[in-house]
Each structure stands twice: as C-alpha cells, then as structure tokens.
Structure 1
Amino acid sequence: MDGMSSYHKPSAGLNPCESSSFSHSPSRAMSPGNYRYPEVKTPLRRQVHAPSRVGKFGMTRQIRRIRSPRRVSGNGLGGFLARNYNMLKRSALDLPVCCRKDREVIDVDDEIGVVEMISDDDDTSSEVEIVENVAMEVDEKEDEPFVNRKNGNLMMVDDANKKSSVFSNRPVRDVWGFEAYRKVLKSAENRTSKLKDRGFGDALKERCRALLRGLCSFLKQDEEPVEDVQHEPFLPLSKDDVTAVKRAFSANTRNILVTHVSSNIDITGEILRCLKPGQWLNDEVINLYLVLLKEREAREPKKFLKCHFFNTFFYTKLVNLKTGYNYGAVRRWTSVKKLGYYLIDCDKIFIPIHMNIHWTLAVINIKDRKFQYLDSFKGREPKILDALARYFVDEVRDKSEVGVDLSQWRQEFVQDLPEQRNGFDCGMFMLKYIDFYSRGLNLCFNQEQMPYFRVRTAKEILQLKAE
C-alpha cells in the first residue's frame, strides 16, 4: 500500500503470546518501520518457603518451581526438579519453629541465580519461575538440639564453625543420628553440671530425705500406740522408785502413807506391806488399785477400753451365802448420777471374787458377748457366771429399761492364761488380769514377773496414779 508500512502477519493458529521465539529470533530481522508484538515480560517472582542446604563447596542448592510440570515431563532435569519441588513442599511443613529468646535469628535474602528450562517436545519455550533461596544463619549460643514440634523428631544442628548453623530436617535415625545424640548427651551433661553448681542436687536430696522422714513418722503413728501399750506394762523402774517403795515397806505400820480422797481409802504402812513378796493382797490395796485403773481410763479414753471396776465387796453383797441372789442389795451401786454412764455402754465389767483365801476374777465381756471366769489355778465356777448373767439382765432393765437377750452369749472359763505357781500370788495375778484386759492386750506375763509387778503396784499406789 502507498504511504503505509508493511508488517508481518503471524501465521494462523499461532498464539502471539507464546511466540516469544518469533519476536526475538535474529533470523527474522525487521525493518525499522515495521511493527512487532511487545516482548513477553517475566512475571512477578514468588517465594517458596522451603529449606535451603549448603553443599560441599559452599554452594546453595537452587529450588525451582515449574509453572507447568506437564510440559517438562519429558525432560529429565525438569522432571527431577518437579519431583524435588513436591518433596521439598512436603518437608517444608516439618520445619521447626524457633521461639527461643536466647537465639538471634537473621534472615538474609540472597538471589542465587536464574535457570530457564526449554522443553524438547515443543518448539515453544515454557516460562520458568525464578525462585530465590533463603539461607537462615542462626547464631548458636548453646550446643543444643532442636525438636520438631510436629512429629517430635530430633533436628540435627551442624555447628562446624561453632558460630552459625543451618537447620536440617533429619531425624535421629539417619546417618547424622550419632552426632545429634552426642550433642544431646553433652548438652545434658552441661545442664547437670550447672544444676550441681547451683546446689540443686543437694536441695533435691534434702527434700527427699524430709519426705521419707515424714512418711516414716506417718507410718509410726499407727504402730507406736500398739508398741507402747505392749511395753507399758513392763516399763523398768528407776532407782528412786525402788528406793521409795523399800522405804514405804519399812515405815511405821500405823503411819498413813497415802490417802485417796474420792474413794476415802487410806493406805498405811501395814496395809502396803501386803505387796511385799510372799504376802497375800488385802481388800484396801486391791480396791484402791481398781480406782486408779478407772482414773487412768478417764485420762486417756482412746488408749484404754471403756470399763467398769466393781470393788471386792460387790459379789458378796449380790450373792449372800444365806439369802442367795439379791439384786436389791447392789441396785444403788450403779446409779447414773453416781457413775455418769450406764453399764451397758461399757466394753467390759470386772468383778473381783474372793473365795475364802483365794482371789479369782469374773468378767462381763459386753464387747465379745460372753461371761468369762479367770482363775490362776484354772478352776471353774459356773454358779458365779450364772449369777452375773442374771444381774446383768436386771441391771439393764432397771437402768436402761430395755431387755437383753443372752441366748447368743456364752460362758468361758479361760484356760490360756498365766498360771500361779505358789500359794500367795493369786491376788497379784487377778490385778494383772484386769490390767491387761483393760488395755485390750492378751495375758502375756508369767510367774517370774510377779516380784516386779508387786513393786510397781506399790509405786503406783504411793503416787496415786496407775501407768
């Protein structure tokens, strides 16, 4: 055409946007007056967050993201990069997140290079996105490993220069595991030494000792009362106690050594001498000792059973040789106003029995529902237990106004007990039967201990306190 410059028209079916080789080809030189399509500009670069590793010669590996993987599938290098991209994309999710304040993290943006891939399957070239690799240099102040927060694997820290390190997502099971384990062990040793320097180990040991002492004391709280109760009946006497008892035995027979005001019992030198070896116990010593046992129970009610102790005159009043059984003779002995409690509320009721020249013991054992008879010569007296059973029914009906069914109760003549082996310790045996039963103990003494019990009983009477 006249006055108009000719231009080259692209062939049909060819996309102008994909013909970058046509516009840039040096073989198709165009005159200055001809028009051409504008050059294809490289799109904006986008970063792929993936780890970057340092190679053997200090070179950083380049990560390529292919925009159209299908076009480069035939190319060996393109397929390799595509597969690495997918692998790195998956492993990028496992990167640890460092939130420690004692490490300084520096981001360095460094553009490594540009690679353009051309497919052999097509005459057209594909655009390749340029990816910048970012190397993270971390100043390690402590030689410690990192733990992946997602999968819990240990992360290897390469500190060849002791100044900067690059994170590598390698678990302990790989070839680097031994080195990571060594560093973990060294770090633990360093922390242990620091704790020792601060005295943490000593403080922990002391705390453990205190806990153990507290546990031992807690366990002994349940054991000590039982052990104390078992040993208290055999506590050794001091020299002063023995001297005081000897002086009382040698005192004037008419001198009043001690007086118990509430029971109105006086103990003179002559009365106390019945506790000397080879002597028979009299009523005053037995009755005062029973009063002291009741006072002991009142002082420590949790330590001893709740008992009632009749004196030596009770049974002779209840069962008279001429008139027989007579509840009215002893009805007022157990009034609630006088005692402060009902007999049915007790665990055991002790009744001393004097048979001419021999002392025995009868027990109304409410706790175990039985009537017991204890004789240091292992004698049997069923009539005594029958009379006490009748008395207990009358007493409960009179004071508590209830009936008692004794059909399930039984009579027991205790045979497994310490035996008397002389003719004068029956009264002492009877008192120790009462003493041990009121403690809730078995009868764990013998004839050889009677001299000790005599001196101890005399000491307790002089002090007006049973132990």
Structure 2
Amino acid sequence: MEGVSGYHKPSAGCENSSFSHSPKAMAPGNYRYPEVKTPLPRQVHAPSPVRRFGLSSCTRQIRRNRSPRPRQDSGNALGDFISRNHNSLKRDALDSPVCYRTDREVIDVDDELSDVELISDDTSTEADFVQNVDMDVGDEAEKENELSLEDDDLEYGSVMVHDESEAYSSLVLNRSRPVTDVSGFEAYRKALKSAETRTSKLKDRGFAGFLKERCLALLRSLRSLWLQDEELIEYVQREPFLPLSKEDEKAVKHAFSANNIQNILVTHENSNIDITGETLRCLKPGQWLNDEVINLYLVLLKEREAREPKKFLKCHFFNTFFFTKLVNSGTGYNYGAVRRWTSMKKLGYHLIDCDKIFIPIHMNIHWTLAVINIKDRKFQYLDSFKGREPRILDTLARYFVDEVRDKSEVEVDVSQWRQEFVQDLPEQRNGFDCGMFMLKYLDFYSRGLDLCFTQEQMPYFRVRTAKEILQLKAE
C-alpha cells in the first residue's frame, strides 16, 4: 500500500485519539475517523441502599466526607465518573451505620396493624430517594455544585427537607408509627379487621357485662343520693306542719285556762319580755295577736337561725315598733330615731350582710309584712288581703340607703331594685287571723320556702306558736 498516495500510516499510541490532519492534507476519497462528540445530557440513577427502618448515612453525608479527587482529562469522562461514583457509593453505604430519626414519639400499635407497610413498594421508595441524588452530567459546573453539600443541610445524620410532613411521609420509614392513611383499600380493610378483632376480644372478656354492672352501680348510687335529697326536701317542707304531741296540746290548753290569766308563764331574759296567761290567750282561735307575742316569736326565730345557720337564711327581724318609730305621724321620715337600733355592738352584724330584713307593719287593726330582700334585690309587701302600700316600700328603700351609708359607709343604688306586691300568697278568709298570717309569712320566708299553707291550717299554727313560746324555742 506504499504506492497509494494520500495514505499515511498512523503512529503508535494514536488508536484512541482523533487525527489532527486538516482536510486539505488528505487526498480525495480518503476520510479520517469521526470526531468524538459530547453526548446529550441525561440523568444517571445510582443504586440506593434502603433500610427498612430508616436511611443509611445518606448520599449527602457520603459525599461530604469523601475527599475530592483530581479531575482527569480523559476521552471517556462519563464512564469514569459513573464507575467511580458507583463503587464509592456502594462501598460507603454498606459500611456506614443506619441512621434514623429518634426525636419522634414511638406509638405502639396492635399486631394486626404491624404488618401494614408505610411504603407501597421498594421501587417507588428507591425512585423517591434517587430524586435527591440526581446529577446533571451535561453541565460540569452544576455537577460539582450537586456533589458539594453545605453542613447546614444535615441534621442528626439524615437528609433534611423543608417540609417536615413530606420528610416523614417519604424519607423517615418507621414501622412503629400508626397507619394514618386509609385511602387505600388494603389499609382500610386491615384497620377494619383490627377493629372487629378488638370488639370480639372485648366480648370474650365480658366487657359488656362489666360495663353494664358499672353503669347500674352508678345509677343506684345516684338514685340513693336523689332519694336522700328528696327525703330531705320532703322533711324540710313537712317540718312546719309536724303534728303536735298530746303532751304539747295539754300544756297549751292548760296555759289558756282562766287559772293562769295573771300568772307569768315564761320570761325571755335577753329581750326582757314576760308572757302571762292573759297575753298568751291572744293565740286562741278568733283572737287578735298582740305586740308581746309577735315580738317574742320574732326573737325566737332569730335564735333558731343562730342554732342552725346552714338550715335557715340569714335574716334580721325588726319588732313591731320599728316602722312606727321610723315614720312618726308628726315629723314624717326620721332615720335618727332608729339609728341606734342596728349598731354593731348590739347586733354583731350589719344589715347589708343579711339575706332578708323583715319589718312588721301594723295598720291600725291589720297586720302586714314588709321585706327588704337583699338576696333578690327587691322590696316586697305581703298583705293577707292583697293590699298595696307603695309609700311603705319607698320609705324602706330610703331607710336602707341611709342605714348602709351610716353603718357600712357604702353607697347603695336601689333605683334598679324591684318593688313587689306579692299576690301569690295564702289569703285570709276571716277578720282575726291577719297576725298569724304575718307570722307564717316570716316563718316560711326565713326557711327559704314558698308560702304553702292555707287558711284551714291557722288553728294548728295558733297552738304550735303557743307551744313554741312556752318552750322559748321556735322549730
């Protein structure tokens, strides 16, 4: 072939390199080897070792710890790069310890749910992981940036992502976490099967019977408490109507006899009130009540409250002379006339601390009752004939303001307090029981009870009031 013009024998060592002859130096019809062209950029997927309970030390950690190698100029740069990185990744990944996040609480689940996988298959997981290590070989500058990793991109030896929920759904593969995604049919079926198994186990252990017994025991205890409350309420409502013993009736009958008219039957030392046979006879049927009997009974009601403060409301009982003294027929309203009646030294408390204040009102031949109801913020007037006296309530409102200002040094605004003329009350059907109606209004209101008595019970109340006065104890 020596005679052929234009043919040059290649020199040794040039098999893998292109000719440098220019087209002008070559004879027509003879061609040189083609030049090596840069291949199109494409992504290379490196193998990804995946652990069941977490990732390995992760590709970024591997790349951070690997010392950079000098770049070699080679015609087969792509093949060298793939081979070098594949072997390095495989070796370092297999030798590195398993890393997984431990800053989450591990929740134990039933055995039935433990086999439910948090990933669909290895292929999808591997594909998700490979997306984090994609390299663009088309551009060497971008390739070097991909291989370099900042320290702040790592935390606890695992790959960090900006979205924490995304990290735990795709990267942190922890089988101990409960199943939260039941969108798939298989996961839903297993969760339903687990629920049915639990229900059957509870039935086998007699849980339904146990729960029923507990509920019945609770209902019995509540019923017993309810019955106790009912019995207590019934007793409290029945207490004002307790029947009198034969001894009590005999003692009252003896006190009403003519032989005791001039005799002093009882004396209340604290109030200095003496009750004679003639005074007590006002409690006989058809008689009008006098001041001595009414005032002594009011004192006994206050002593009853002191004996059992939790059973009765905190009240103050003015005597029958208070309102007459407060409203003098000659001078009109006069607070100074009754100012000393309610001193702390005398009473031991201020009127503003009471729930109710009772004021007997004597209208010539008729007894009524006025109430300063501090508890309900209203002024009440009770008349067994259902009469109305607005001036009495206006006077008591003025007195209460002056009393609180004088004793407690407090300004009370009673402009919003209601004036109530009680209509739903027992009515008097004769001309002599107004005093007994007034005493029973006091008695029931101080107990916190409704006025649940009638005219037919007045004879009983007369005998009972006489018995309580003789014993100097209101019940």
Match of 2:4 in 1: none
Q: 2:268 matched to which residue of 1?
A: 260
Deviation at 1:210, TM superposition (A): 11
- In structure 1, what is the equivalent of residue 291 of structure 2? 283
How far has the Cα of 1:220 moved from its partner?
A: 3.5
1:227 aligned partner: 234
Tell me how far apart the structure 2 counterparts of residues 403 and 352 of structure 1 sit (CA, whole Å).
26
How far is 1:215 from its partner?
5.7
Which of 243, 255, 268 is the equivalent residue of 1:236?
243
CA distance in 1, matches of 2:455, 2:226: 35
Query: Does 1:373 pair with 2:381?
Result: yes
Write the mapping of 1:50-449 to structure 2, written as runs, cut at 5 A.
Answer: 217-250=224-257, 251-449=259-457
Deviation at 1:218, TM superposition (A): 3.3
Q: Any unmatched runs of 5+ in structure 2? A: 1-203, 205-212
How far 1:212 moved relative to its partner? 8.8
Calculate percent identity across the aligned residue pairs: 87
Which residue type is aligned with residue 422 of structure 1?
A: N
CA distance in structure 2 between the aligned counterparts of 1:357 and 1:254, rounded to whole angstroms: 25
Deviation at 1:219, TM superposition (A): 3.2
Cα offset, 1:361, TM superposition: 0.4
TM-score (norm 1): 0.54
Q: Compare the two structures and name the one with the higher helix fraction.
A: 2
Q: Name the residue aligned to 1:138.
A: none
CA separation of 1:239 and 1:319: change in aligned 2, threshold 3 A = same
* Alpha-carbon distance between aligned partners in 1 of 2:267 and 2:400, rounded to the nearest angstrom: 32
Equivalent in the alignment of 2:472: 464
Q: CA RMSD in A?
A: 2.2
- Corresponding residue for 2:177? none
Deviations 1:315-358 (A, max 9, x none): 00000011100000000000111111110111100000001111
Instruction: Count the aligned residue pairs.
Output: 264
Structure 1 distance, partners of 2:299, 2:227, is 32
Moved over 4 A (4+): 208-217
- 1:210 and 1:454 mapped to 2: Cα distance? 48
Deviations for 1:30-56, whole angstroms, at most 9, x for unmatched residues?
xxxxxxxxxxxxxxxxxxxxxxxxxxx
Once residues 419 and 464 of structure 1 are traced to their aligned partners in structure 2, the CA distance between those partners, rounded to angstroms, is 28
- Give the deviation of 1:442 after TM superposition: 0.8
Aligned equivalents of 2:243, 2:310: Cα separation in 1? 24
Cα offset, 1:209, TM superposition: 12
Structure 1: 5+ residue runs without aligned partners? 1-183, 185-204
TM-superposed deviation, 1:407: 1.7
State the alpha-carbon separation in 1 of the partners of residues 236 and 374 from structure 2.
22
| Residue 410 (structure 1) shift | 1.2
Query: Structure 2-normalised TM-score?
Result: 0.53
Specify the alignment match of 1:172 in structure 2.
Answer: none
Higher strand share: 1
Output the amino acid matched with 2:291. D
